[in-house]
Structure 1
Amino acid sequence: MPTKNINASTRPYYVAVANEEQVFNAAFRQGLSILLKGPTGCGKTRFVEAMAHDLGRPLITVSCHDDLTTADLVGRFHLNGGKTEWVDGPLTRAVREGAICYLDEVVEARQDTTVVLHPLADHRRQLPLERLGVTLDAAPGFCLVVSYNPGYQSVLKDLKDSTRQRMVAIEFGYPTADVEEKIVEKESGIGHEQAAALVRLGQAIRRLETGGLREVASTRVLIATGRLASAGLTLSEAARAAIAGPLSDDPNITSGLNKMIDVYLPTS
């Protein structure tokens, strides 16, 4: 199961768009769990990393998927040298250490798995470990943060109402053009004019109305495009590789995206 522990010595680069930092800090101080809602690549993960740095808390991130089990989160017994020993999962480690536990794209996990979050997400702040017969109280500093992309919502993949109502929600969208230009410029190392051109292209793609385009040009893919340009590709070459290619497998849609790239990022 993909997990990563983060203890950043320098603050991850994040530019606030609204009052999301104030809401997160207030929820953290009150011991409330947090739900981040927004499209793919708009900065949710970077935001959590920046908040963990500001609050001086370790961050444990779990990338959720449909095979994620309760044991993957909580822990399980392992055979080690002929002896059976208990090994904590990432959620249990966060509860014991007082870390921020970030469950990325939580709706990808099975609903019977996310139910284990309920006693942690409400006033109890407890994690039952049924196999050990104990219930852990969350250490000071523990915070549960989950995220998901409403654009992928479906009847089969959605958060239960009983889970939602235990959390404080923060809505995310793509940054305004001036903010996004600064982010792309800073993160990719390209010049301001190139960053501005990429942002204009990204905004144009986001305005498209076509069922064949599963995703739009996120801030993340604009940064990837800029990084390719920093490595020596022309901006249009970089955009074909990092935007048009990944966004669609449909030849007609890819062709349309390439034409937009020609308009917004002329080779000259």
Structure 2
Amino acid sequence: MVQGQYINTDETVFNDAKSLMTLNKNILLKGPTGSGKTKLAETLSQTVDLPMHQVNCSVDLDAESLLGYKTIKTNDDGEQEIVFIDGPVIKAMKEGHILYIDEINMAKPETLPILNGVLDYRRQLTNPFTGEVVHAASGFNVIAAINEGYIGTLPMNEALKNRFVVIEVDYIDGDILKRVIKEQSQLQDDTMIESIIKFNEDLRTMSKQGQIAEEASSIRALIDLSDLATIMPIERAIKRTIIDKLEDEREQQAILNAVELNF
């Protein structure tokens, strides 16, 4: 794959996801924070040459965030009129694009049933704000991502989960992770990259043991750390990209201990 795209030692992750899209199946990417789920969705979008419309879920997600909203607009005659601005779901459906729903289990369960018709064989939606019946154009696909067991997430409704085919997306490591760092960051020093990868392995172990937050060992944090390591001492780069994001002093100290062991 070209620079900046999703990379994994398990090629079936990408290949299966691409095949599912050709079958028009809804895809649920399941894996830890920072394992590359969004990068995988972006790479699929680039590969099939279809734009991607993204929904970032939270407890504040509502129908307007998904579907769109009404507003007042001045027309060509200078008169004001009420118009509806399409949201990401309706845009993706009308244009035959990809809809990406990130952290779908962060949304309140009562918010998502509005998508049931979008996610099943009907591929249609009745817009509650306008009464318009929207049918998905050819090419429309749905990809969602879930972080199971993460703070703030809710158990995913089984009826909703059954509308998806699940693909596990685990952390990348070893030579593949080294390649990702070289391609997606400014850092090219092999010795430093190997030290950062070993440090990240320690963080992942601590994360699995519940000592630190999962996002501390994410690929995103690792790329930021690698970039900063080219312009400042590694200890300060770790402080800026990982430690200072944490509120818990015990987590901060655990990472400081790992820094002392690795650098």
Alignment TM-score, normalising by the size of structure 1: 0.88
How far apart, in 2, do the equivalents of 1:227 and 1:27 lie? Answer: 35
Contact 2:95 2:137 in 1 (8 A): yes
Matches within 5 A, 1:102-121: 102-121=100-119
Residue of structure 1 equivalent to 2:5: 13
Residue of structure 1 equivalent to 2:77: none
How far apart, in 2, do the equivalents of 1:249 and 1:75 lie? Answer: 35
Higher relative contact order (CA 8 A, sep 6+): 2
Contact 1:212 1:250 in 2 (8 A): no
Identical-pair percentage: 26
The Cα shift of 1:201 comes to: 0.5
Matches within 5 A, 1:1-268: 12-18=4-10, 19-81=12-74, 82-152=80-150, 157-190=154-187, 191-208=189-206, 211-215=210-214, 216-230=216-230, 232-246=231-245, 248-265=246-263
The Cα shift of 1:47 comes to: 0.9
SS at match of 1:83: strand
Contact 1:188 1:227 in 2 (8 A): yes
How far apart, in 2, do the equivalents of 1:153 and 1:233 lie? Answer: 32
RMSD after superposition: 1.9
How far apart, in 2, do the equivalents of 1:176 and 1:22 lie? Answer: 19
The Cα shift of 1:132 comes to: 2.6
Alignment TM-score, normalising by the size of structure 2: 0.89
Runs of 4+ in structure 1 displaced over 6 angstroms?
none
5+ residue gaps, structure 2, are 75-79
Q: Name the count of aligned residue pairs.
A: 253
| Alignment deviations for residues 220-243 of structure 1 (CA, whole Å, 9 cap, x no partner) | 11111111012x112222122212
The Cα shift of 1:110 comes to: 2.0
5+ residue gaps, structure 1, are 1-9
